[in-house]
Amino acid sequence: AQSVTQLDSHVSVSEGTPVLLRCNYSSSYSPSLFWYVQHPNKGLQLLLKYTSAATLVKGINGFEAEFKKSETSFHLTKPSAHMSDAAEYFCVVSRSASKIIFGSGTRLSIRP
Amino acid sequence: KAGVTQTPRYLIKTRGQQVTLSCSPISGHRSVSWYQQTPGQGLQFLFEYFSETQRNKGNFPGRFSGRQFSNSRSEMNVSTLELGDSALYLCASSLVAGDSTDTQYFGPGTRLTVL
């Protein structure tokens, strides 16, 4: 069985400060892990994915995530938040399209 | 390369009606999946199509159905609409099916409101 838990439903940071969005997963096999971002009234856009290659994954717009097997975590980070980063972020664990589990989402707010 | 397109973007229907949503995948992608997104349930898998065949189906009633055409375009149909069907319906395409490493690319969604 697999599951994914996003530990924070809402994160608020000031512009220019670091972002940390936390995700823990559970999987009985080696998972593929993804982070997607969804801006209001938009579809999901892929930020980055982990597929058992390098544990530190770099994505678009300065985001990166580190796969830590011992902690079963795949936290998303960005060194410096920008106003345009305000959106909903989803952590995803996948075995296939039909066996894809979405986290409940973390809403990121950016304070000027 | 053009992304996943979904039509219409917004739809308002009344209870008991039926609705058809359309999805055109990225050129060359043969797998299309559908998801329902609601504030209460989050993102839930509806079904997946590959080469005109439904490969997998989520836990939704038979009122939800779909199909895929030879050009990989897909439609989903919801019959006898209920208020609870109000949601954002997202379509995603990928190169192949059943590959956990394959990336799904999402369309902008169709916002369905049932009155």
Segment B10-59, tens digit of pLDDT: 999 999 999 999 999 999 999 999 999 998 888 999 999 999 999 888 89
pLDDT tens string A5-55: 999 999 999 999 999 999 999 877 777 899 999 998 788 999 999 987 788
CB < 8 Å to A98, chain B: 33, 45, 47-48, 55-58
Which has the closest alpha carbon to B50: B29, B22, B75, B24? Answer: B29
pLDDT tens string B80-104: 999 999 999 999 998 876 666 678 8
Distance of residue A36 Cα from the nearest chain B Cα, in angstroms? 10
pLDDT for the residue A96: 60
Mark yes or no for CB contact A98/B48 under 8 Å: yes
Give the distance, in angstroms, between the CA of residue B72 and the centroid of all CA atoms in the same chain.
13
CB < 8 Å to A25, chain B: none
